Structure 1
Amino acid sequence: MSDDKSKIEALHNEDVTISMQPPEDERPWYQQPELRKLYLLMPFLFLGSTTLGYDGSLLNGLQTMPAWQASFPGFGGFAVLLFTPYVADLLGRRLGTGIGCAIVILGALIQAFPKKNNPDAMFLAGRFIMGMGSNISNATCPLLITEVSHPRHRGRITTIYNTVWYVGAILAAWTTFGTLNGLTGDISWRLPVGLQCAMPGVQLLFLYFIPESPRWLISKNKYSDAKKILTKYHGNGEETDFVNWEFTEITQALELENAASSNSGWYELVRTPGNRKRCLLIILTAIFSQCSGNGLVSYYLSAVLSTIGITNPSNQAAINGGLTIWCWLVSLGCAFLVDRVGRRPLFLGAGIGMLIAFSIWTACSAVYAKTENSSAGSAVLAMIFLFYGAAGLAWPGLTVAYTVEILPFKIRAKGLTLCFVFTSLSGIFNQYVNPVGLEALKWKFYIVYIVVLVLECLAIYFLYVETKGPTLEEIAVLFDGEDAAVPDAAVETVARRQSASKV
């Protein structure tokens, strides 16, 4: 242990080539040739989230199809997640994404073409395999995006990643709407299920052109490769002072992390007070993103609409399609506010807005249950859209973006997996508890989520840390203080920025 302390002190005492962030190219990204190339490749990484959105919305669409309901009355699964950070850390962010895409394609094909003598088992197997592939891909895509992006754009680009979940949801919703009305028999569900291959297929083709994370390369002692990537994309091919400063900060931060960490695997997530706070925020973020009332619509829109008299499958599918478009537009617009407004105000605004909309939603549902007044039913539908508009302030984009940026490199992949574990557990709750609650209590079940939303707002106000401003390495100072595994110059930079913000 004393050797570790000596190493840390030696690293801190090293002369830092550039102690303060030097001037960078102030031109917009689209006027910088190499940076423009990098960001034009980002949509192919976003397809990892789009694939998840397609799959999630597909469940809602399939529930409206009599042919699918007859074949598959219900299923659920929890894909294995614990090995995904090892793929990201050992094989790299880019290769890990490729492996995930290939597994997703395999799972989608098994789902679309199950054996006739045992279709249920084959479909479930396909969903399990696809879940594994999606988890691998989504454990690597956001890491690669945030670690390769320019510090000035990191927050917005990483936040956009999870918002394109809705692009997949839109495609799935309107595909199932079209096949429901235009096709009969098994092809009505086989076609939208088979189309799940398209997005990971395209992603797999373009991965070759996307650079590997310079931080991962540095962690593997591939310093020259990392420097080339930073020089090409963040310096537009020139080894500027800014590129040298960024390379120095990343390299020293990773060296300090390695010296300070206990190399104890998963225990590292809770070994220090700063890491314990990170884990608490990650778990809360994962649960709130799924269990704030939105799970009622995300998984059981058909049942919710039935409680207000909307039972026609075509009408339900059309509402599902319109809702996904609305959600995407709102969440995408809010993704560009993260560096202007900040993360914490967006989280808090989302929580308060959802609480107000859901309370009115509950009251109108109670009126409809007693009177069957069509105006009350229409008000519930309006509140569903307003509820998701409020949620779009933060939850679609920041769930992954906030998780990734508050974690130091050493535990970033494991911490993101922790987020996905609790997201999946929350999804299981939504799939199995919500329908029971809706059937037994009808609108009264909504009161549970009003309580959850109140607790959510309190947790955000008292616990969440604002991360707007610092680089990916400097954020560690906000959680670990003077014990942060970053160069002293980074600690001084964060302190100076915080003092300036109070003036």
Structure 2
Amino acid sequence: MEDYKQGTEIMHQEDASPSPVEQNEDARPWYQQPELRKLYMMMPFLFLGSTTLGYDGSLLNGLQTMPAWKSCSHLGLLGAFPGFGGFAVLLFTPYIADICGRRMGTAIGCAIVILGAAIQACPPRSNPDAMFLAGRFIMGMGGNLTNATCPLLITEVAHPRHRGRMTTIYNTAWYLGAILAAWTTFGTLNHIDGDLSWRLPTGLQCGMPGILLLTVYMLPESPRWLIAKGKYTKANAILTKYHGNGEETGFVSWEFSEISQTLELEKAAASSSGWYELVRTPGNRKRCFLIIATAIFSQCSGNGLVSYYLAAVLNTIAAINGGLTIWCWLVSLGCAFLVDRVGRRTLFLGAGVGMLIAFTVWTVCSAVYEKTGNSSAGSAVLAMIFLFYGAAGLAWPGLTVSYTVEILPFNIRAKGLTLCFVFTSLAGIFNQYVNPIGLNALAWKFYFVYIAVLVIECLVIYFFYVETRGPTLEETAVLFDGPDANVGGMDMTYERKASIIAAKEV
């Protein structure tokens, strides 16, 4: 009760300053602010949640090249079982994140991933296939749980000026995991004989979640989650330490006030804390539409296709894939630093248009190669693949998660992120099972389906996507719910809400 009273006093204190910029915010770069620097030096540990998924996504491809592994396990469901495990836990992930906290949810997910990886690396000789399959199912459960909590913690603890970049970098770390798995399996294949050649890279899958498990409690808990649980003093202490460098400045008081009052308004306005809240209001329905569109576009824009003729033209497919992964990572990581300079909507639209142009040329070159067998056309396909994935790197790897979490209010943020993962998984299943059928039936003509999808994608982005650059995490609600949005704060008047909307319409 005393904690609540103290938090209420902080939350409702008066301040005459009209905007957060004038609230004594420390304008120095983050690396010149000691406490903020400590926070961001610890952030890469949270990126390991995405790296873990990338490692697993690439690991199976490497294992399939190993004779020792093939003799132990040759089940066709191996690639799909982590997805099944992920689906099994998705319904529960938002409740774990909201009830146990962002850090505890991450820790639980890491422990489950370690268990699954250990089972895969050391299956009993009596029934290795079944245990390897079980390990992949368990690992999928833990991976999705970790991936559903890490972005929440990043976006909710980062300074408002750096929120977009930090959260966008998170999902680009997927490529780093894929690169590590590719090189690890390549090394063991060429230098280690016997079962150890596949047990070692499989067991190393414990490394990244293990590091994250050991370090996650070095990071602060989400101040928004703490406030939602009535732990006002702890939340204010975290904001003061990291966003005020140990001093309770006017900026920290303003930030605490906005978060606290907004969460109170959200709680009072919500009909319930259930899944229905995702579609109860027009603003939430628009959020869900954008989340579903983002999830589908991130997987079904042609990026799930492998060039139909690439294997026939080039004998260095492994090297090409390795180079393509590194290229995608560098482009997506570089673009993550542009989200606050260029804007989310601009990056999305640039990615859509760039992919449409590259994919159209890709299709034409594929048609020329089929009809003439011209090797130059085949090389042009390779060039277009790199340009296509470079264009995709402008937005889809990083913004798929960061855009989702920042357009959602706190009370449905965890559930909305789960919705994104559901449709991402469904789109991935579509790629896995439908694309081969279409390619076998229509060859290069199947590419026209994705040209049409890319045209629709560009139109949806242009007419419906909302630019979220500028407003704080709480103020983003104004862009979806209008001047009556449930946003509080010292200076959050009806006029200020209207000015946020007007600034985006210019």
With normalisation by structure 2, the TM-score equals 0.91
Q: In 2 relative to 1, CA 185–451 (structure 1 residues): closer, same or farther, beyond 3 Å?
A: farther
Q: Deviations over 1:280-309 (max 9, x none)?
A: 100010111111111224xxx8x7632x43
Q: Which amino acid aligns with 2:218?
A: F
Measure how far apart 1:66 and its partner are: 5.3
Q: Is the 8 A contact 2:483 2:497 kept in 1?
A: no
- The answer to whether the aligner puts 1:305 opposite 2:310 as a matched pair is yes
Aligned length: 482
**SS of the residue 2:467 aligns to:** coil
Q: In 2 relative to 1, CA 275–318 (structure 1 residues): closer, same or farther, beyond 3 Å?
A: same
Q: Is the 8 A contact 1:177 1:318 kept in 2?
A: no
Match of 2:499 in 1: 496
Q: Deviations over 1:172-211 (max 9, x none)?
A: 1222233333345544333322221110011111112100
Pick from 161, 173, 180: which aligns with 2:182? 173
Pairwise mapping of residues 454-469 of structure 1 onto structure 2 (< 5 A)? 454-469=455-470
Q: In 2 relative to 1, CA 366–123 (structure 1 residues): closer, same or farther, beyond 3 Å?
A: farther
Q: Is the 8 A contact 2:179 2:326 kept in 1?
A: yes
Q: Which amino acid aligns with 1:74?
A: G
Q: Deviations over 1:214-246 (max 9, x none)?
A: 000000000000000000000000000000000
In 2, Cα distance between equivalents of 1:316 and 1:468: 40
Q: In 2 relative to 1, CA 390–64 (structure 1 residues): closer, same or farther, beyond 3 Å?
A: farther
In 2, Cα distance between equivalents of 1:353 and 1:399: 17
Which sections of structure 1, spanning at least 5 residues, go unmatched?
1-13
Pick from 256, 270, 274: which aligns with 2:283? 274
In 2, Cα distance between equivalents of 1:190 and 1:434: 32
Q: Which amino acid aligns with 2:159?
A: H
Measure how far apart 1:438 and its partner are: 2.9
Match of 2:33 in 1: 32
Q: Is the 8 A contact 1:296 1:304 kept in 2?
A: no
Match of 1:23 in 2: 24
Q: Is the 8 A contact 1:108 1:130 kept in 2?
A: yes
Pairwise mapping of residues 70-469 of structure 1 onto structure 2 (< 5 A)? 71-75=73-77, 76-77=80-81, 78=84, 79=86, 80=88, 81-297=90-306, 305-306=310-311, 308-310=312-314, 312=315, 315-469=316-470
Q: In 2 relative to 1, CA 222–435 (structure 1 residues): closer, same or farther, beyond 3 Å?
A: same
Q: Deviations over 1:362-412 (max 9, x none)?
A: 222222223332222211111111111000100011000000000000000
Match of 1:480 in 2: 481
Q: Which amino acid aligns with 2:383?
A: A
Q: CA RMSD in A?
A: 2.0
Q: Deviations over 1:256-277 (max 9, x none)?
A: 0000001150000000000000
**SS of the residue 1:294 aligns to:** coil
With normalisation by structure 1, the TM-score equals 0.91
Measure how far apart 1:494 and its partner are: 4.3
Match of 2:58 in 1: 57
Measure how far apart 1:502 and its partner are: 6.2
In 2, Cα distance between equivalents of 1:408 and 1:478: 12
Match of 1:5 in 2: none
Q: Is the 8 A contact 1:331 1:393 kept in 2?
A: yes
Q: In 2 relative to 1, CA 40–264 (structure 1 residues): closer, same or farther, beyond 3 Å?
A: closer
Q: Which amino acid aligns with 2:313?
A: G
Q: Which amino acid aligns with 1:234?
A: H
Q: Is the 8 A contact 1:53 1:167 kept in 2?
A: yes
In 1, Cα distance between equivalents of 2:482 and 2:109: 36
In 2, Cα distance between equivalents of 1:25 and 1:281: 34
Q: In 2 relative to 1, CA 223–465 (structure 1 residues): closer, same or farther, beyond 3 Å?
A: same
In 2, Cα distance between equivalents of 1:365 and 1:116: 47
Which sections of structure 2, spanning at least 5 residues, go unmatched?
1-11
Identity %, equivalent residues = 77
Q: Which amino acid aligns with 2:76?
A: G
More deviation, 327-336/113-122: 113-122
Q: Is the 8 A contact 2:24 2:251 kept in 1?
A: yes
More deviation, 392-401/52-61: 52-61
Measure how far apart 1:432 and its partner are: 1.9
Measure how far apart 1:109 and its partner are: 1.4
Measure how far apart 1:499 and its partner are: 3.9
